[in-house]
Structure 1
Amino acid sequence: MGDAGLTDPVDAVVDKDRKLADHVPDRLRAIEDVLFSVVSDIYTNDARTASTVTANERDAIFHHVDDEDVFQFTSRNGEKRAMQIIVIPQDLLFSDIMRRWQVCPGFLDIVGAYGVKTNEDERVFYGWRESGGKDELCYNVPHVERHGRDLRDPWSLRQTACYHQHSSDTECSRWIMLNVSTSSRTKLDRFLDSEDTQCCDLALHARLLATLGRNWTAYIEDLTVALLEQDNKASYCSIDKSRENHSFTVTYHDLQDMHMLQTKIDCASVAVEACVEIGRNCLTHFEGNDGLLLICPTSRQSCRAKLGVYVSDMARHSQALQRLDRRLKGILDLISRVLMFRNEGLLQNFNRHSGDTLDALSAINQQSRIHQATLTQLFATVQADSVLLKNLGIVATVYLPASLVAARPKTVFSSNLIQHVAAASPAAEPQRLVLSPQFWTYVATSLPLMGLTLACTLFLDRRSRRRAVLEKVAAADEGIVSGTGAGTAFASTLPSHT
């Protein structure tokens, strides 16, 4: 290793940095559940307490690079002027690194941004400090990457943190990079392994920022294509709902798509503006600290130019996103007006059809009243005819015995009960009919039978009426039982003794 400070014991921490070390445990304790479960094992003790890991074990941890890395540390050897990437496995306690390198508390805020979040974190972390001949610079770069999953949106908004510590006494630099993607790490490896990597510290910052910002152009192009699709729908859709089959279809689902697109544009705008701020602050910081620009004076201008190009590109992306946001608001307003106009047309049609329906119901009601009056009149006529038929039936029943008696042989017209009175001349026609002296037998027989028949008819009619009255009373009693209970109904049916 080019830095002997990595193998020094913790007891060698000087008193002037103990105040900083006392603040670090409180800052790390808030994020220990997010990062590693072993952080609390270190920071619950005082910073002056000796580490439980021996120097040989720590050296073995630093030289063991086979495990998957959790944090990437880029160390600069002051003697050989060469860049090296050291992969730190999870076995090395992150808190031990923070304490040994005396990392500024501002970097802990950046680390805290990598915890579990319930919403988008739009905080921008950028800061540096100068203490005891040591410069520290840290920032959190938002960027976009293709996630490679089968989802509707192929992009995901990510963030990569960078920490740079430079000691002017030893001219040694230490780097911490968090959440570097595989592709970005490959590009940084190639950059550091190249033969012409004899540049200042600004070169690595410029290369890191340029590598992380390479996908913004493609991402903004995808947002533009999605917005253009909605623009075509809003511009060429039919206002009339009936003619929508021959044009673009606009529904409330498009408003939901526009809302999600607006959210993406807002997040991208915040991220790009953060990148612009980071690039400008890097330029300002390195221009005011020439001691950080160690070698190759001619390459300093090249690094500054590259970083300036990065800032210009990010500013151009920010302007493009602002234009997209203005276009999106206009398209959203147009789609809302189209849907509002359609809703008003549908409401007018609904009101018109409702009026027609009410008119039809009124006509049906009028016809029902006419039919009801006709049925009432018909019912009255049928009831009168029924009474007439009933009376005729009674009369026919009463005269039935007389008819039967008259139908017997040798009676009435077939007997001598009614006789013809002949004229004086035999050739003359009969003049009249006269009753036979025995006609009284017919009357004497028929009248009792008719009286008996009338009595039976009246008896049966009275009996049927009484039965109908009893049925009505029984029905009324059943209604009382169902309404007030069986006990009350039973009491109401008891005979009264008055």
Structure 2
Amino acid sequence: MASFLDLEEEDWELQAEANKRSKNLFGPRPNEPQMQLYRLSWTASAPPTEEISFGQNMVVHGTSQLKSLKAESNDFFQVFIIRQERSWTSLDISRELLQDFIDIFAVFPPFWRCIFTFGKKSNEDECDFPGFKSRGPIRMIMDQPTIESAYVVRRAELNHRDASEGQSPWSIRQTAVYHRLCSRKDASHDTLCASAFPSLKSTVLLVSPSKAVEKKISRLFKLALTQEEGANPCIVHSLIVADSVKGWMGYISWLEKHVKEVSVRITFADLEPPQGDGSDEGFTFDVDDRQALKVSEDSIIDLQIILSTLRSTVEGIRHYCQKCCTLAHHIDECSCVAALQELDAYIEEVNLCIDRAATLKERVISTGQLLSDLLRYEDQKALKDLNKQSQEENRMMRSLAEKSTKDAEAVKVLTIIGLVYLPTTFVAVSQETLSSFLSADFKVKNFFSTEFVQKDESGNMSVTGDTWLLAAISLPLTILTISTWWLCVRYKVSQASLKSLTGLLEGCKGGWALRWRRKNQPRVGDTENPDVQPSRPGILSTRTWSTGKLTLKDG
């Protein structure tokens, strides 16, 4: 009874979660059936004339029809189907109709976890998908043994869309399955099938199955009209698992091809392209390739989670099918043996897919490591080239500085030359231009009016006897000009040196003062000055001076 109480408590939590997600989870479309039914049933009550009939695509409209189907004693296999338009859209059923089905057929609460994997969503969290759940066999009303199970299987399918660059041509979809197997209330058919599944009643609910599964179930039920194996629920589970497993090898192959394309381009890339051809075809990958490898790695990690869950689910289905076979009291060889063998083969195939996914993940990791190393190599190479350019620029700046220094020296020489020739030029200027500014009656008689070179009537030039005035005046002016220039330059240099020296002396003065205070300050407990004792607040120190005859005590 404790397990039932736990399930009831869990049901309250699941109902609250269902109410929270109902807006994105349920959304029936107009003019589309919310639920359809495939059924196998007996057509007559008299054993000699009993025949199995098959019905498909029967639309379930409401609660009353579900109750009548639950009470129908002639039905021994019912498969209800709920569809959705696309894998990431809401289910084509209302919350009320699904809740009525769960209440009428007494579906155990863990099935809600399977329902929560559907609905509108922007991304997929692989860890949200539950594993295989089962319960039974247990004794219900009228001592009818019942077993039930619920699980979700994932499948990889080609989406047949025009995929652009970077998009996958594969889509990962899921199907939720609920199965309930119990004894039929009407045991009148035991004379015909005392050890057959038609003596039991199977109720299956498929949520978003593939079209291939629906076709296979339709063919299986048609086979049940003539052969008993068609009514075996283990075969239905085997068909669902087969549809889930078949696409993963193709999906892994596509991932491997995509990874190899990037890996080959990275591994055989020419890191040192020919110089001088103007092409940049050597290093043809960048950070985008590293991001693409990361996306592939994440896809492989999701694949490993999916395949691990799928393997656990298939193993649970196999164990559950053994329970179904035991409940049907099969002793001799039956179709359950073939179904169990197929499930074993599917488990091995899933294990193979898991191993290949692990190997592919190692390849992606190694390729990503190689790409990271090459990108670091490219960065180091770029830094090396940048260092070379910096050294070249430094050499150019050095040559420019040397040239500027030489130019400055040349300008300095020219300045000195100008200082030498300036007074001489000033003295040698003709006074005729200056005398024009003076009055005609007054003529200035000074050295400015002296002409050192004269020209006679015949055009011959001669130096006058006053030429010595040029040297007598120019030399003192030249010496005075150069001295003034030299003193100005020295004054500026002296001011800068004095300012620097003043700052240095200030710093040294502060350091000397600090060292002097530290040196002359008595230290507490100094072994070289044992008379110095530490002073404590509130305690007066006592000192004693003693001479030969007089003793003074202070404090």
Q: What TM-score do you get using the length of structure 2 for normalisation?
A: 0.57
> Percent identity over the alignment?
16
- Structure 2 residue aligned with 1:354: 390
Contact kept in structure 1, 2:80 and 2:205, CA below 8 Å: no
**Range with greater deviation from structure 2 (385-394 or 173-182):** 385-394
* Structure with greater proportional helix content: 1
Q: 1:306 pairs with 327, 330, 342, which one?
A: 342
| C-alpha distance in structure 2 between counterparts of 1:155 and 1:221, whole Å | 11
- Are 1:233 and 2:220 counterparts? no
User: Relative to 1, partners in 2 of residues 1:345 and 1:398: Cα closer, same or farther, differing over 3 Å?
Assistant: closer
What do residues 376-414 of structure 1 show as CA deviations (whole Å, max 9, x unaligned)? 5445655776676666558343444799899xxxxxxxx
CA separation of 1:227/1:388 partners in 2, compared to 1, >3 Å: closer, same or farther?
A: same
Mapped to 2, the partners of 1:121 and 1:283 lie a distance apart of: 23
The answer for the alignment partner of 1:114 in structure 2 is: 118
CA offsets, 1:158-182, max 9 Å, x none?
A: 2221111122464222212223234
- Aligned partner of 1:102 in structure 2 is 106
Aligned pair 1:283/2:287, yes or no? Answer: no
* Residues in 1 aligned to 2:412 and 2:329: alpha-carbon distance in whole angstroms: 114
The answer to whether the aligner puts 1:344 opposite 2:387 as a matched pair is no
User: Is the 2:148–2:180 Cα contact (8 Å) retained in structure 1?
Assistant: yes
Q: 3-state DSSP class of the match of 1:156?
A: strand
Name stretches of at least 5 consecutive residues in structure 1 with no aligned partner: 1-15, 40-61, 68-73, 407-498
CA–CA distance in 2 between the matches of 1:100 and 1:138? 17
Q: What root-mean-square deviation, in Å, do the aligned CA atoms of Structure 1 and Structure 2 show?
A: 3.8
1:205-354 to structure 2, matched below 5 A, reads 205-240=237-272, 249-293=284-328, 297-354=333-390
CA contact (8 A) 1:217 1:317 kept: yes
- Cα deviation code 1:87-138 (max 9, x no counterpart): 6963552222222222222112222233546552324422111233321211
Change (3 A) 1:394 1:22: same
Distance in 2 (CA, whole Å) between partners of 1:134 and 1:126 is: 17
In structure 2, C-alpha distance between the alignment counterparts of 1:106 and 1:98, rounded to whole Å: 11
Instruction: Say yes or no: does 1:180 pair with 2:209.
Output: yes
- Alignment check: 8 A CA contact 2:25 2:118 kept: no
Match of 2:496 in 1: none
Q: Which residue of 2 aligns with 1:32?
A: 19
Deviation of 1:344 after TM superposition, in Å, equals: 2.2
Q: Is the 8 A contact 1:143 1:213 kept in 2?
A: yes
2:153 touches 2:174 (CA, 8 Å); kept in 1? yes
Determine the C-alpha separation between the residues in 1 that align with 2:23 and 2:8: 19
Quick one: structure 1 residues 182 and 247, their matched pair in 2 at CA, closer, same or farther if it must change by over 3 Å?
Answer: farther
Q: Does 1:125 align with 2:93?
A: no
| TM-score, normalised by the number of residues in structure 1 | 0.63
2:498 is aligned to none
Cα gap change, 1:258/1:372 in structure 2, threshold over 3 Å: closer, same or farther? same
Distance of aligned partners of 1:38 and 1:279 in 2 relative to their CA distance in 1, 3 Å threshold: closer
Matched, 1:167 2:176: no
* Deviation of the 1:220 alpha carbon: 0.9
Q: Which amino acid aligns with 2:236?
A: L
Q: What is the CA–CA distance in structure 2 between the aligned matches of 1:200 and 1:216, rounded to whole Å?
A: 27
Match of 1:458 in 2: none
Do the aligned partners of 1:81 and 1:198 also contact (CA within 8 Å) in 2? no
Residue 63 of structure 1: CA displacement? 5.8
Describe the shift of the 1:396–1:119 C-alpha distance in structure 2 as closer, same or farther (beyond 3 A): farther
Bigger Cα Rg: 1
Q: Distance in 2 between matches of 1:268 and 1:352?
A: 48
Q: Shift of residue 261 of structure 1?
A: 0.8
Letter in 2 for 1:211: D
**How has the CA–CA distance of structure 1 residues 19 and 263 changed in structure 2, closer, same or farther, with 3 Å as cutoff?**
closer
Match of 1:365 among 401, 422, 432: 401
Displacement after TM superposition at 1:35 (Å): 3.1
Q: Once structures 1 and 2 are overlaid, which stretch shifts more, 203-212 or 371-380?
A: 371-380
Moved more, 254-263 or 80-89: 80-89
Q: Tell me which moved more, 242-251 or 278-287.
A: 242-251
Post-superposition CA distance 1:3-23 (Å, at most 9, x none): xxxxxxxxxxxxx98985675
Distance 2:4 2:263 in 1: 59
Q: Output the amino acid matched with 1:99.
A: D
User: Counterpart in 1 of 2:160?
Assistant: 148
Return closer, same or farther for 1:144/1:349 CA change in 2, 3 Å cut-off: same
**Counterpart-to-counterpart distance in 2, 1:245 and 1:37:** 51
Report Cα offsets for 1:277-322 as digits up to 9, x if no partner: 1111211232245334577843111111111111111111111111
Closer/same/farther in 2, CA of residues 177 and 394 from structure 1, 3 Å limit: farther
Which runs of no fewer than 5 residues in structure 2 stay unpaired? Answer: 27-56, 63-68, 84-91, 140-144, 186-199, 443-555
Q: Distance in 1 between matches of 2:25 and 2:118?
A: 17
